């Protein structure tokens, strides 16, 4: 069966987002990344900044989350934590997007949310630590923390979020149809493999 929906999960700094964008361009189908954040923000009433920060991160409640919560609609979250409320919206938005037609979706546990769709191809992109460290400094600039510490923190937050909402271990090969090491294989090779698989 033709794979119309491609989900790309990725380690921070691995180039997974760039790979997803190129795959979508080459296949001529929509690419959802920031657009997904905006749509979730609209549907949930949360600020995009909150969705971006918490959509893939640890599910703990924080006082800050309430500062971004939907205004003026008491009880809109039905007693759920802000993170759980956001997860529900995220699931609905991703399921709706997949129903609309072929697309590439980056992150936000879309591999799990769309695991029962036979027309979906689930990819995981990872890379060696040194490659990711060099890449985040080049793309996102320096910071007080070492790039390795930033990566470890991001990895941990994504792992906790994934485990919490899916019950699965993040980065386990069996969760995906294909996993690629972008630092070893190269970004272009990863793009070619995914485009070929989607076109079969």
Binding site for its own copies (CB under 8 A): 121, 124, 126, 171-174, 176-181, 184-185, 189, 193, 197, 200
Residue 194 neighbours by CB under 8 Å, 6+ apart: 6, 19, 23, 121, 123, 178
- The CB-of-116 to its own copies minimum distance in angstroms stands at 13
Q: Rank residues 18 and 182 by Cβ distance to its own copies and give the closer one.
A: 182
Closest separation in Å from C-beta 25 to its own copies: 21
CB of 175 to its own copies, least distance (A): 9
Angle of the 16-27 helix axis to the 187-199 helix axis, nearest 10? 40
| Residue 150: CB minimum distance to its own copies, A | 18
**CB closer to its own copies, 17 vs 126:** 126
Closest CA to 194 of 37, 29, 36, 34: 29
Q: How far is the CB of 92 from its own copies (least distance, A)?
A: 26
Between 25 and 169, name the residue whose CB sits nearer to its own copies. Answer: 169
CA distance 124 to 174: 10
Residues listed for the chain: 200
Contact (CB, 8 A) for 136 and 130: no
**DSSP structural state of residue 173:** G
- Which residue, 27 or 120, has its beta carbon nearer to its own copies? 120
Give 69 or 180: the residue with its C-beta nearer to its own copies.
Answer: 180
Helix (H, G, I), strand (E, B) or coil at 142: coil
């Amino acid at each position: 069966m033709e794979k119309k929906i491609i989900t790309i999960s990725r380690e921070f700094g691995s180039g997974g987002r760039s790979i997803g964008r190129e795959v979508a361009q080459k296949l001529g189908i929509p690419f959802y990344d920031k657009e997904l954040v905006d749509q979730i923000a609209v549907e949930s009433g949360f600020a995009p900044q909150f969705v971006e920060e918490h959509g893939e991160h640890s599910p703990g409640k924080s006082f800050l989350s309430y500062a971004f919560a939907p205004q003026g609609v008491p009880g809109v979250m039905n007693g759920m934590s802000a993170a759980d409320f956001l997860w529900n919206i995220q699931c609905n938005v991703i399921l709706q997007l997949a129903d609309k037609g072929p697309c590439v979706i980056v992150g936000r546990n879309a591999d799990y949310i769309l695991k029962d769709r036979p027309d979906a191809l689930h990819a995981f992109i990872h890379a060696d630590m040194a490659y990711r460290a060099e890449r985040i400094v080049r793309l996102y600039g320096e910071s007080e923390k070492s790039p390795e510490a930033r990566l470890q923190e991001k990895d941990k937050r994504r792992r906790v979020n994934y485990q919490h909402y899916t019950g699965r271990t993040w980065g386990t090969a069996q969760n995906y149809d294909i996993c690629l090491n972008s630092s070893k294989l190269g970004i272009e090779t990863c793009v070619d493999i995914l485009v070929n698989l989607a076109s079969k």
